[in-house]
Amino acid sequence: MKWMGLLLCAVFAFTYAPSARADNDLQGNPAASSVYGQTPDLGTVRSVSVGGQEVRALPMRVGNLDILSPFTSSLSSLGASASQVNPSNLPKGTPHSQKNEFFQLNIAGQRPIVLQIGKATAYVDGKSKPLLAAPLLMKGQIWLPVFSIAPLLGASARVAPDGTLHINPTVQSVRVFKVKGTLTVTISTSAPIPDGKILMGTTDNPPKIYFDFQGFSMGFNANGSTDQQTVSAGKDEIDQVRAGLFQSFPDTTRVVLDLNKPMQASVQPMPDKTLFAVLLVSPGTAAATVSNVDNAPTGNGSMKGLTIVVDAGHGGHDSGAPGKKSVEKNHALDIAKRLKNYLQNMGAKVLMTRDDDTFISLEGRVSYANSHKADIFVSCHLNSYTGSSAGTETYYYTSQSKNLAYEVQRSLDAASGLPNRGVKSARFYVIRHTSMPSVLTESCFISNPHEEALVMQPSYRDKLARGIAQGIANYVKKYR
């Protein structure tokens, strides 16, 4: 009996708390943790692996505080990128002569992390954070302090027994909620999940559903800990949600749904690849088709009876602003189409000034909106200026449009994660001559390589469209 009990415990530990085995190894090695401010044991490090890919350059030991490695070119596997600093993100009082010492790490949907060569401080949203070591510039490459930077990216940095320093994206959070009466679970990660990197399994007794995120370490604000933990309280048929590091080096994080009764999971396609969503239904029941589970703007049905004209800027021979790899008119149309879908889902009647690559004059756009007696007019644009100009802004002209502009900009800013250039009044033709509340959005600067790279991602354009839709929904709720 005693042996049976031990065996059951061992089976449980392997299946649902595998991290407990790894914890013992990790806890004995401070360098295995990415705990902010801890001094890792640097002596054991022989190589660096980012997102499962080994970085050829050797790590450099610096002052026994952190390990520096030139892994900026591998940041994409952590859902980040490095670029020259946007002037608006520079710390206050920075002399112009020092501008070139700064650069920034960009993470979709978040404020950039601003760093300075030779200074052990990071600036995030105007606040400074100490680093264990300063980034360095050597032979034209930026060397980043791994243990300092990883937590800022939501990533994990741990040293394997073979001396490889693994920098991995992490599983960040789990939400349990209901959409139209259907139990829904969303799991967010710090970087986009590559196709085929999630495995789903089920057991009926006890009833559980689990998901293995291959190549992802533990996040959950665990400060580098790999202990299994309850990451979400239950709801209805879900008793609780736990997570643990199922496998180390390479890492796999397992998320387990403890159920009160057997359920069937239906994975939902998500435009945002950092989000994984499943619907839970009783076995034999067809899963409801709910798209964009977590992403749908609130306020469904609140726009019934409203006519909204969505105007995709430019078109046809008028390409709009050029980027290095794309042009404004195509992104504007895509965002406008996505915006249309969101607004329609909220009950609005949506008309588009163009739904293909056609040139429409400014007068034609205004005439279309006025003749259809639209209640709201939204013109979708992307801005362009220099490579370093950045951010979102929303324009209005008439006083009746001001509240709409502020609501749209607030939501667009939150969705984009870009610098907020605010709301401004300007005499753009389409918002000056339309007779209803009208705004013109500039979702980003296509001339900025980082922002162009973002807007070239469909998931990011969806975020922008969702932000604009949410702003309109907030305006309707508050002011109409």
CB 252 within 8 A of CB 214: yes
- CB of 442: closest distance to another protein in angstroms? 6
When asked if residue 322 is in the footprint of another protein (CB under 8 A), the reply is: yes
**DSSP secondary structure, 455-470, as one string:** HTSHHHHHHHHHHHHH
Place of tokens 């085995």: 21
- CB of 391: closest distance to another protein in angstroms? 9
* β-pair partners for 322: 327
Residue 342 or 397 with smaller CB distance to another protein: 397
CA-wise closest residue to 450 among 26, 42, 112, 53: 112
Which of 160, 369, 440, 444: binder of another protein (CB under 8 A)?
A: 440
Residue 174 or 464 with smaller CB distance to another protein: 464
Which of 66, 328, 451, 452: binder of another protein (CB under 8 A)?
A: 328
Site string for another protein, 376-415 (x = CB under 8 A): -----x-xxxx-xxx----x--------------------
When asked if residue 429 is in the footprint of another protein (CB under 8 A), the reply is: yes
Residue 79 or 112 with smaller CB distance to another protein: 112
Residue 344 or 389 with smaller CB distance to another protein: 389
Site string for another protein, 84-113 (x = CB under 8 A): --xxx-------------------------
CA-wise closest residue to 395 among 409, 385, 382: 409
CA atoms within 13 A on the CB side of 117: 16
When asked if residue 367 is in the footprint of another protein (CB under 8 A), the reply is: no
d(CA 390, CA 410): 16
Spell out the residues 6+ positions from residue 333 whose beta carbon is closer than 8 angstroms to its own: 312, 315, 354, 355, 356, 357
- CB of 431: closest distance to another protein in angstroms? 9
Residue 254 or 450 with smaller CB distance to another protein: 450
Coil, strand or helix at 248: coil
CB 71 within 8 A of CB 52: no
Binding-site ranges for another protein (CB under 8 A): 86-88, 313, 319-322, 328, 362, 381, 383-386, 388-390, 395, 424-430, 432-433, 440, 442, 445, 447
